[in-house]
Amino acid sequence: MSTPSRRGFATALIGLTVKAESTITGSFADRSTAAGHKLRDHARFAAPARRLRVPLVIVGGGCAGLCAAWRLLKHGFKDFVLLELEDTAGGNARHGENEVSAYPWAAHYLPVPGPHSTEVRELCQEFGLLRDGHWEERHLCHSPQERLFLHGRWQESLEPDIGSNKRDHSQFRRFQQLIEEARASGQFTIPMQRGAPASSPLDQISFDQWLRSHEFDSEYLHWYCNYATRDDYGSLAAGTSAWAGIHYFAAREPEDKGPLTWPEGNGWLVGKLMERVRPYVRTGQMAHRIERHGTGRRVYAGDTLYECDTVIFAAPSFLAAYLIEDAPPSPPLEYSPWLVANLTLERPPEERGYPLCWDNVLYNSAALGYVNATHQSLATYQERNVWTYYWALASATPATARRTLIERPWVQWRDLILDDLRRAHPNIRSCVSRIDIMRLGHAMPRPAPGFLASKARLALAAQERSLLYAHSDLSGLSLFEEAQYHGYRAADKFLKRANRG
């Protein structure tokens, strides 16, 4: 759990000038940027003080690495360590907590897994989410789930309705028909490896080109599709492969009962995984070099040199080039920068229209709106609250957006967030007491045109010997199910080689 009051809080920014804002405190909550830059700059690291022999080292304690560990333990294999750079495991599924509520620092839900997602269903059964074929009601997102702020008021659902005309309606219907056909083709599955072809004409054009080639010109439909690609990939439809854009809509079950969600978001899943794998996890341990050693590997992390037969590399694959001696070429993926802010509210702000939902989105905002962290609470009225505000910096190139993300001071981000929300909540400034901000420079891969057929991506996923890749970016689609699938598969490959499967 990463609470904003921990040591090493060099970036705390309190003390404001304008009287009306004087009660809004907060800070940046991210801490690992400096460590990442040491890797990027090929900085020198101290020589290890001790050497440990262990058959398997997992590098990276996000959902992929934790699921690999979970799978190994289920097979009774305990001779491994998992090294995680941060002080807490979970990666993009970490969470924080204050006196009002727990809240996510990024991933906040798991769609109810469909029939292809056998590995996720297995995990859900073990964690008590799925019992005798029934999903536990208290973990399914309660109503009302989604609303959109459009033309000065909130409406139910994210599909723009206020002010829409016949043309918009008929284009949405035609779009849904095409998605139904795509779903029926069987190629859009989760995990994607169950159905994805090795290449597709849809991967040669952008989602925006695909929409235009089907003569979709409804502004509402284009907004909706851009919202979807920004939400799942951090990219605009013009920068997203049409195959990935269609996957967003076609891979989910049409009668989705979900999603599954918790105040701490997917931190709940991390908590359940950690209950099982905690003794094997070493946090605050950045692997900074991985080299060949006979038929095995050496991993340097902190003051320790680990000698092992196999490494499961569950850190983002672009890092391989910086720390693995003979790294195969990384896939040509761009990573989207994101900002996630947790706003503590002392009282509910003013608003008009449909009431507060779990997911609250503002039409034509550069950001993606906010999720209400206390939505699953059974309390009928919540005076204080936490909102998790999401912003994929999608409109600039990732490098430019990353620079903006890091260089802009907390005060400016605070004002941009509040200005955006003020459209829907005029008195928001007087209701918020604290804003904590997580900057995620390389938050998730962008599935740009050509990602599906990338030979480098497929080669990493097919690695067999002493180095097994497992991060969700092997899919190019950043989803819990993909992370779990790759962790699970890497563990199975290892067990098979070690004759323990």
Ligand X SMILES: Cc1cc2nc3c(=O)[nH]c(=O)nc-3n(C[C@H](O)[C@H](O)[C@H](O)COP(=O)(O)OP(=O)(O)OC[C@H]3O[C@@H](n4cnc5c(N)ncnc54)[C@H](O)[C@@H]3O)c2cc1C
Of the candidates 150, 225, 250, 287, which one interacts with ligand X according to CB under 6 A?
A: 287
Cα torsion 87, 92, 94, 100: sign: positive
Classify residue 194 as exposed, middle or buried by CB count within 10 Å of its CB (0-12, 13-18, 19+).
middle
- Judged by CB under 6 A, the stretch of 173-181, 404-412, 420-428, 477-485 that binds ligand X is 477-485
Residue 290 — φ and ψ, nearest 5°?
-130, 120
Query: For residue 265, which of 118, 393, 370 has the smallest C-alpha distance?
Result: 370
Q: Is 229 in the site for ligand X (CB under 6 A)?
A: no
- The answer to whether residue 402 forms part of the interface with ligand X (CB under 6 A) is no
CB of 134 to ligand X, least distance (A): 22
Distance CA 421, CA 486 (A): 38
**Which residue lies nearer to ligand X by CB, 175 or 485?**
485
Question: In angstroms, rounded to a whole number, what is the distance separating the alpha carbons of residues 261 and 331?
Answer: 32
The nearest distance, CB 218 to ligand X, in angstroms, is: 27
Smallest distance, ligand X to C-beta of residue 301, A: 7
Q: Closest separation between CB of residue 152 and ligand X, Å? A: 28
* Residues with Cβ within 8 Å of residue 10, at least 6 apart in sequence: none
235 binds ligand X (CB under 6 A): no
* Choices 12-20, 86-94, 151-159, 289-297; region in contact with ligand X by CB under 6 A: 86-94
Among 443, 448, 461, 495, binds ligand X (CB under 6 A): 443
Selected from 27, 92, 189, 342, the binder of ligand X by CB under 6 A is 92
For ligand X, the binding residues in 382-401 under the rule CB under 6 A are: 390
Stretch near ligand X under the rule CB under 6 A, chosen from 78-86, 137-145, 243-251, 350-358: 78-86
> Which position among 146, 445, 472, 490 is part of the footprint of ligand X (CB under 6 A)?
472
Cα–Cα distance measured from residue 389 to residue 434, given in angstroms and rounded to the nearest whole number: 13
Sign of CA dihedral 444, 317, 126, 187: positive
d(CA 128, CA 358): 23
Query: Is 480 near ligand X (CB under 6 A)?
Result: yes
Site string for ligand X, 300-339 (x = CB under 6 A): --------------xxx--x------------------x-
Q: Do 484 and 120 form a contact (C-beta atoms < 8 A)?
A: yes
Q: CB–CB of 398/383 below 8 Å?
A: no
Amino acid at 1: M
Q: Please provide the size of the chain in residues.
A: 501
Interface positions with ligand X (CB under 6 A): 59-65, 83-86, 91-93, 106-110, 266, 286-287, 314-316, 319, 338, 340, 390, 440, 443-444, 471-472, 478-480, 483
